[in-house]
Amino acid sequence: MSDDDVRRAAIASDERDSFAPAPAGTHAPLDSPEYRSTALRHPAHAPVRLDPAKADATELAGPVFGDDAVTEADADLTRAAHGEAVGQRVIVTGRLLDSGGRPIPSSLVEVWQANASGRYAHQRDQWPGTLDPNFAGAGRALTDDEGRYRFVTIRPGAYPWGNHHNAWRPAHIHFSVFGRSFTQRLVTQMYFPDDPLFFQDPILNSIPDEAARRRLVARYDHDVTEPEWALGYQFDVVVRGPGATPLEDRAHG
């Protein structure tokens, strides 16, 4: 084999290996007793880890959503047919990256959230928060060439739930991303800085690693804020490799 062949082979195996599991503490244990709904829904058996040689030779590619599947209006949650949503208008933007820091373009990002009163436009949400006829609470966007998405929405309210006495979810926006491949599929929640409800939220606090938890909190960005219009927040979403461990770094130990 030539040096080039060796290097190519190394990159190929390196790319595979870089889909290695997330560092410990990044994701919550599925059995997280403080979040009561996990009790009957977490598998009791440990997941089966396949011998890498027995895993799929090709990483499953994500679905392709064409430009026709997503319109510009889908990224603006504040405008309804007959009026505008009530609440503090916000711009939420960020990049979809892999853990090697590479942007993932043309990838679908879906969001859903409660309205400014903390009520979802959902049949099963029946707490006495106020409904807003001009807020459906769902949006979608495709990332651009730099992996960037951008939504215009309103800041959601906190809402109560039955998990424990006086339980309130901190304000949050649900995010669903596809990335490029099966391994990169991720659903998560974005929070707002300095929310006083963090301390009692078992969903956010189910994540063991504090630094990982902090990555779910958006950053206020005055450069994204638009005068006379809306407050700006940045929230990057980072999914697993490939490319988490570039070959060069390995060579340097």
Partner 1 sequence: MAEATDRPGLTPSQTVGPFLHLALDVPGDRVAVEPGSDGSIVVRGRVTDGNGDPVPDGLVETWQIDGRFARCATDARGEWVVHTAKPPAAPTRDGTLQAPHLCVSVFARGLLDRVVTRCYFDDEADANDVDPALAAIVEDRRHTLVAGGSAVDGYRFDIRLQGDDETVFFDI
Span 68-107, contacts to partner 1 by CB under 8 A: 97, 99-101
Taking CB under 8 A as the rule, does residue 234 contact partner 1?
no
Residue 139, burial from CB neighbour count under 10 angstroms (0-12, 13-18, 19+): buried
Q: Tell me whether residue 220 is one of the annotated catalytic residues.
A: no
Q: Tell me whether residue 16 is one of the annotated catalytic residues.
A: no
Contacts of 9 (CB under 8 A, 6+ apart): 1
- Give the number of other Cβ atoms within 10 Å of residue 114's Cβ: 25
Please identify which of the residues 95, 140, 155, 172 carries the catalytic annotation.
Answer: 172
Taking CB under 8 A as the rule, does residue 37 contact partner 1?
yes
The residue range among 1-9, 55-63, 85-93, 226-234 that interacts with partner 1, by the rule CB under 8 A, is 55-63
Q: How far is the CB of 177 from partner 1 (least distance, A)?
A: 9
Cβ contact 122:150 at 8 Å: no
Q: How far is the CB of 227 from partner 1 (least distance, A)?
A: 30
Q: Find the binder of partner 1 among 7, 8, 42, 164 (CB under 8 A).
A: 42
Q: How far apart are CA 93 and CA 236, in angstroms?
A: 8
Q: Find the binder of partner 1 among 86, 105, 188, 205 (CB under 8 A).
A: 188
Instruction: Tell me, by CB under 8 A, how many residues bind partner 1.
Output: 84
Q: How far apart are CA 141 and CA 135, in angstroms?
A: 17
Please identify which of the residues 35, 89, 95, 120 carries the catalytic annotation.
Answer: 120
Give the C-alpha distances (Å, rounded to integers) separating 166 from 131, 149, 160, 197. 21, 35, 7, 11
Q: Find the binder of partner 1 among 4, 5, 24, 45 (CB under 8 A).
A: 45
Name the token pair of 244. 């988490």
The residue range among 2-10, 53-61, 145-153, 217-225 that interacts with partner 1, by the rule CB under 8 A, is 53-61
Nearer to partner 1 (CB atom), residue 123 or residue 166: 123
| Cis amide linkage into residue 242, ω under 30° from 0 | yes
Taking CB under 8 A as the rule, does residue 151 contact partner 1?
no
Q: Tell me whether residue 233 is one of the annotated catalytic residues.
A: no
The residue range among 3-11, 147-155, 217-225, 237-245 that interacts with partner 1, by the rule CB under 8 A, is 237-245
Residue in 55, 56, 45, 94 with CA at minimum distance from that of residue 217: 94
Q: Find the binder of partner 1 among 118, 129, 139, 147 (CB under 8 A).
A: 139
Give the C-alpha distances (Å, rounded to integers) separating 128 from 125, 131, 161, 197, 250. 9, 9, 12, 19, 56
Taking CB under 8 A as the rule, does residue 222 contact partner 1?
no
Taking CB under 8 A as the rule, does residue 215 contact partner 1?
yes
- Give the number of other Cβ atoms within 10 Å of residue 232's Cβ: 19
Residue 16, burial from CB neighbour count under 10 angstroms (0-12, 13-18, 19+): middle
Q: Find the binder of partner 1 among 41, 82, 165, 222 (CB under 8 A).
A: 41
Kindly list the catalytic residues: 120, 159, 169, 172, 174
